[in-house]
Amino acid sequence: MAIVTIVGSGMMGSALAFPARENGNEVRLVGTHLDREIIDACIKTDRHPKFEKDFPEGLKYYQIEDLEEALNGADMVIGGVSSFGVEWFGEYVLPRIPEGVPVLSVTKGLMDTPEGKLLTYPEVWKKMLEKTGKKVSINAIGGPCTSYELVFHDQTMVAFCGDDMETLKKMKEIMATDYYHISLSTDVVGIESAVALKNGYALGIALTIGLNQKAFGIDSQLHFNSQAAIFGQSVKEMYKLLQYQGAGDLNNITVGAGDLYVTVYGGRTRLVGILLGRGLNIDEAKAELNGVTLESLVVAERVARAIKAAAVRGVLDTKDFPLLMHVDEIITEKKEVNIPWDTFTFVQEK
């Protein structure tokens, strides 16, 4: 039996308590400073407020003030914060984790530099740790997995990525179940970039749903030709960006494409894309989804900004990313949705 400490009681971090506990491990769920009400509810009901199923029996719940106690004796730590908590996690949590205890992050996203480079969150955290002189193994989860389906044991395939294969194997042994299937990869940049890039592109696909609702009515039959066309363009642009990132092989794009697929069919990114497609501008869409965090908007804007910076240096060409450039226009310039379909076509001679 291992001791698994999960820091961040959002939906995904909390969902991972299910396979971890059902494998016979001791699981400690720690709320961040923003999760106080969630942990209070868990203590009272043994259920996350957003879930329709009780936690496995025996979970232990902690407020953030008790973080050190929750970390004591832990064999692994799961970072369950959103992308908006990346700096907080690096500054507050990582320095408190004992050396030798690996971290497995669920946080998906990228940060851009003025030169147009894209940094994965494990890279960001490693740089933060360097300042402290502390050594902690930073790993991450990528792949198509929605929290509520994991809770209900839907068959799920993800990839754990990190620098050390032996560490990854140990974490897989702790977490893998007959419904939670885990691949392993030391290509952290490839896996993490793929699952972050899908956010902006999932929004692009969702635009077509809103456009069709605008044209034919909100309750009209779904139209799949346009969604499929944007999906194909998304994978093409993601592949070029993964090449730019120096990703390893085809496994990365398959993980990213799978994550893209599941994101289109559920979640906040789908909702905001539909609203934009119906004709709302970005401010109106945000107002409509009051209180909902929209990480996809942040990722899309950062990646588009990196492409533009890299284009200035002659490393990339913005014309190779017409879909993402249009998504960026919608977000940052409040332009109307006008998908540039003809830019997606190609002429190929064998």
pLDDT digits (tens, 9 = 90+) for 41-79: 999 999 999 999 999 999 999 999 999 999 999 999 999
Q: Coil, strand or helix: which one is 36?
A: helix
Mean per-residue pLDDT, 171-181? 98
Please determine, for residue 347, whether its predicted confidence score (pLDDT) is greater than 90.
Answer: yes
- Residue 252: band (very low, low, confident or very high) from pLDDT cuts 50, 70, 90: confident
pTM for the model stands at 0.93
Catalytic residue among 134, 172, 198, 236: 198
Mean per-residue pLDDT, 255-262? 92
φ, ψ (nearest 5 deg) of residue 214:
-65, -40
53 counts as catalytic: no
The string of pLDDT tens digits covering residues 9-25 is: 999 999 999 999 999 99
- Kindly report the average pLDDT of the chain as a whole number: 95
CATH number at residue 206: 1.10.1040.10
Which pair of tokens denotes residue 80?
């369950």
The string of pLDDT tens digits covering residues 275-322 is: 999 999 999 998 998 866 678 899 999 999 999 999 999 999 999 999
Q: What is the pLDDT of residue 120?
A: 96
Kindly state whether residues 26 and 167 are assigned to the same domain.
Answer: yes
Residue 191 lies in a domain: no
Residue at which a domain ends, from 134, 159, 186: 186
Three-state secondary structure string covering 163-201: CCHHHHHHHHHHHCCCCEEEEEECCHHHHHHHHHHHHHH
Kindly state whether residues 167 and 253 are assigned to the same domain.
Answer: no
pLDDT > 90 fraction of the chain, expressed in percent and rounded:
87
Kindly state whether residues 179 and 303 are assigned to the same domain.
Answer: no
27 closest CA partner among 53, 68, 64, 62: 62
Which pair of tokens denotes residue 43?
């203590």
Which pair of tokens denotes residue 21?
């506990």
Q: Can you tell me which residue has the tokens 């402290």?
A: 132
Q: At what angle do helices 225-245 and 322-332 cross, to 10 degrees?
A: 100
Under DSSP, the state recorded for 195 is H
